Amino acid sequence: MTQKKMTDFESSESNNSIEIPVDSPKYPFILKNIKNAPDVLYAIGNIDLLNKPSAAIVGTRNPTKNAIKSANKISKQYGNYGFVIVSGLAFGIDTVALKVAVSMKLPSIAVLPSPLDNVLPKKNRSLANDILKNNGLLISEYPSGTKVYKSNYINRNRIISGISMLTIVIETSAEGGTMHTIKFAKEQIRTILVADLPAEGNQKLKEESLPMISLDFIPK
């Protein structure tokens, strides 16, 4: 593993980071076994989190009020269970889940669709900093200077599910980007849980007999 000095990503243009090749003992063991595992992960923060029990919390960028409430409750519950919260730093459910972890002073992992020297979305850079200050981690499969394409966002989702023991869907449309994460989670034989909400995508997953989380039984 090639290690460089870790810094807050906004304080360095070169974005000094840690490179974790697939043959490194620090590379997440469960990610190594997925299809098309990244050859290298680039990381800033607490890389020990990569091999700890984690739960991916994913969903729409445009959540309903009930979905936001559900994301808060579920993130708190699994954080209290000792899971590292994993998400993609996107607006919506990703942001809610990661903010819950920060508010609980629990470490979390944000998986980026961009290199670490270009954290996206820009409006969530302050959240990314909060994650780092809270002993969390930012990771990407893209080296500094890499251009960001639409396909990066889909490819990123295989890492979100790939480093996580389970994937929890809060709210999604039937054709939403979250469905890419579910597809990857199924291929990777990960446990998938779905919040029992009326969204079209949630109901579609319910029809597939995926286990549902009844929000009535989650403590406030």
CA distance 181 to 2: 29
Count of positions (residues) in the chain: 220
Taking CA 206 as the corner, what is the angle to CA 173 and CA 190, rounded to the nearest 5 degrees? 90
- Only one residue has tokens 């299809």, namely 35
Output phi, psi for 85, to 5 deg.
-80, 130
Say how far residue 86 (Cα) sits from the centre of its chain.
3
pLDDT digits (tens, 9 = 90+) for 28-59: 999 999 999 999 999 999 999 999 999 999 99
pLDDT digits (tens, 9 = 90+) for 163-179: 999 999 999 999 989 99
CA distance 50 to 177: 24
Angle formed by the axes of helices 65-80 and 93-103, to 10°?
Answer: 40
- Two tokens at 48? 């020990």
pLDDT for res 176: 86
- Only one residue has tokens 């919040």, namely 195
Domains in the chain, please, with CATH?
27-217 (3.40.50.450)
